[in-house]
Structure 1
Amino acid sequence: MNVAKTVETKTTGTKSRKKRNLWLKIIGGIVGVLVLFMGIVFVVNAISNGVEKKKIEPYGQYVHVDGKKMNTYIQGDGEQTIVLLPGQGTPSPVLDFKLLIDELSPDYKVVAIEPFGYGLSDETEKDRTTENIIGEIHEAVQQLGIDRYVLMGHSITGLYAVSYVNTYPDEVLAFVGIDSSVPNQPGMDVKLPLKSMQFLQDSGLMRLLKKVSGDPYESLAFDEHTKEQMDLISNQVGSNRSLLDELRHLGSNFKNAEHLTYPHDLPVLLFVQSNNEHNEQWIPLHEQQVKQSAQGKMIPMEGSHYLHHTKFKEIAEEFKNYMKQIQ
């Protein structure tokens, strides 16, 4: 028996065990720190949600739809009415549209609607299909006693509006899209990481990410109070079950509408982002859409997807001119 070799083997084995134990301690320490970190983030988020909820100031008025409360906001008393609808996931549609509402309300009655899951409205367990969404919005409009109006909206409203105006053709005077979606736009069948989005919100990581990423409204014309309220509501609404279910139905909602068009006699005005780097067909798709209308018009604007944050004065002015032309 080679004693030297046996001793060497034992020594090597002892060193390996020590290294393994050291790595296990390091990994265990890292895991422990991560667990502690996540625990702190979760607790801070839960406490903050409770505190912030009390700081949110109510605005608008509720209407009762399907046994739930839907928040609406009315500004201005003009003869013509604009029903204003948000883009997908906009935390507080009323406040998000504030700059545009202020520009339109001296001449029009502007009615901003917060669908279920948005702003101060209740959530709902009903599937977020186009049919359900437009039915609920229409019920809210009826509850407010409005029977003739211009339908105006941002982003995803372009998808819902095609179904809406074909379902209620005798009510809508015109459709105005603010960088609005087109039913046949490509890439809308992508599977979204909904569970990850829910985890980020529930864990408090989304709040942390927002905190370190800075103020998204910093360079915009919103007053500080409005910015604060939008941030408070965003933390409350986040990825609630209604908004997540709307994302879950996104692909099927687009698929079901891909062959829908606006009625030929419906005036259609589209404000479109001219510098969309993610979709080279963005302008051609909207050009094709306005051709569906005998009084269709497209106005390209350079800016972000939220054109109404920076181009609210131009949008209001162009809209007023357009309405004079079609009357």
Structure 2
Amino acid sequence: MKRTLFFLLKAVVVMVIAIVVFLAIVFTVNVICNKLEKGKIESYGQLVSVDGKNMNVTIQGHGEETVVLLPGYGTAAPGIDFKPLADELSPFYKVVVIEPFGYGLSDITEKERSTENIVSEIHECLQQLNIDRYILMGHSIAGIYGLDYVNKYKNEVSAFVGIDSSVPAQGAGDELPTAALKSLKQSGFYRLLVKLAPDQIISPDVDDKTKEQNRMISLKNMMNPNIISEAEHFTSNFKAAESLKFPKELPVIFFLVKDTTDVEGWEALHEEQIKDSLHGKMMMLEGDHYLHHTRSKEIVQHFRSFMGEMK
């Protein structure tokens, strides 16, 4: 009996030591990789001074009209994420992709991620670029920020385009376990999970080098202070948007995932948003939430046709 207990105790000790060593290895590898990858991330776009910090933007195309692209929540590198769409738009428009603070290569800000701050910073960025008339095109959560934006800057925005964009009536959803996700990143286990299942990193169809850049930026930005703050403000930001409507005269078009089951009444919720619009339209497309990865050509074709009807 004593010998059995001794071997059991020894086995437990060995297992505990093995677990501790494994955890230490995962943590150390993550720290080393973070330092190495920091030097491998390549700059793209240009930095714009906003509220004393640097906000990264990419600009392509030389059209007379400007399209400003705003990302969905937690998009690691909007400049990369929007590449298929920007490439389709750029023959006809000047295309500006904004990376809000905490996204892509932009700085981290100490200001809370309220809709008011986010919208104000985006506007300041466009002002610094001397862009004062543009079409606002946003993915996912940008539907909430965009709703506030078009009401504050009616004289600047000529149309709003939502790409499977959020609506206030859907609610903020379940609270994200930000503390757990932050621990997952800091411990190195998020990196390990990405290594085991690379498809966890959402990326458009780009070349391998760009995809690797997107992976490194994703690991860098995951659950940074601004991403956490934004998640913590979901409820208040959605609540604040409930009283807002699109200006009646503003052209609005939504590109939505057909037959989605993610949000009940997805199509009806968007119909409600444009019921009073003089120029409101919805297009249902096959695909997933990131329609701009796979349906960019159709989005641009229908968008241009819609805007042509306004002239």
TM-score range, shorter chain: over 0.9
Q: Report which stretch shifted further, 286-295 or 90-99.
A: 286-295
Contact 2:77 2:214 in 1 (8 A): yes
Offset from partner CA, 1:20-66 (integer Å, 9 cap, x none): 55544433333222221111111111111111121111111111111
In structure 2, do the counterparts of structure 1 residues 251 and 50 end up closer, same or farther at CA, with 3 Å as the change threshold? same
Which residue, 110, 113, 117 being the options, matches 2:102? 117
- Between the aligned partners of 2:187 and 2:139, the Cα distance in structure 1 is 30
Q: Aligned residue for 1:261? A: 245
Which residue pairs with 1:3 in the alignment? Answer: none
The corresponding residue for 1:305 is 289
Decide which moves more: 281-290 or 214-223: 214-223
What's 1:181 paired with?
166
Contact 1:91 1:230 in 2 (8 A): yes
Superposition RMSD in Å: 1.7
Aligned residue identity for 1:317: Q
Equivalent residues of 2:170, 2:263 under 8 A apart: no
* SS of residue matched to 1:315: helix
Q: State TM-score, norm by structure 1.
A: 0.91
Gaps of 5+ in 2: none
Q: 1:271 to 1:28 in 2, by over 3 A?
A: same
Q: What is the aligned length?
A: 311
Cα distance in 1 for partners of 2:191, 2:202 equals 17
Partners of 1:262 and 1:50 lie apart in 2 by: 45
Structure 1: how far apart are the matches of 2:113 and 2:139?
18
Q: Deviations over 1:194-253 (max 9, x none)?
A: 110100111111111111113457995322222111111111111111111101111111
1:56 pairs with 2:41: yes
TM-score by length of 2: 0.95
Q: Could you tell me whether the CA contact under 8 Å between 2:201 and 2:218 is conserved in 1? A: no
Whether the 8 Å CA contact 1:128–1:242 is kept in 2: the answer is yes
For the pair shown, which has the larger CA radius of gyration, 1 or 2? 1
After superposition, the Cα gap between the structure-2 partners of 1:237 and 1:225, relative to the gap in structure 1 and judged at 3 Å, is: same
Label 1:21 to 1:241 Cα distance change in 2 as closer, same or farther (>3 A). farther
270-279 or 110-119, larger mean C-alpha shift:
270-279
Out of 66, 69, 73, the position equivalent to 1:84 is 69
Q: State the alpha-carbon separation in 1 of the partners of residues 146 and 204 from structure 2.
A: 28
The one-letter code of the counterpart of 2:91 is P
Contact 1:261 1:292 in 2 (8 A): no
Identity of aligned residues (%): 53
Contact 2:203–2:211 under 8 Å retained in 1: no
C-alpha distance in 2 between matches for 1:64 and 1:30: 53
Is residue 169 of structure 1 aligned with residue 154 of structure 2?
yes
CA contact (8 A) 1:275 1:303 kept: no
Question: Structure 2 CA distance, aligned partners of 1:53 and 1:156?
Answer: 28
What amino acid is aligned across from residue 192 of structure 1 in structure 2?
L
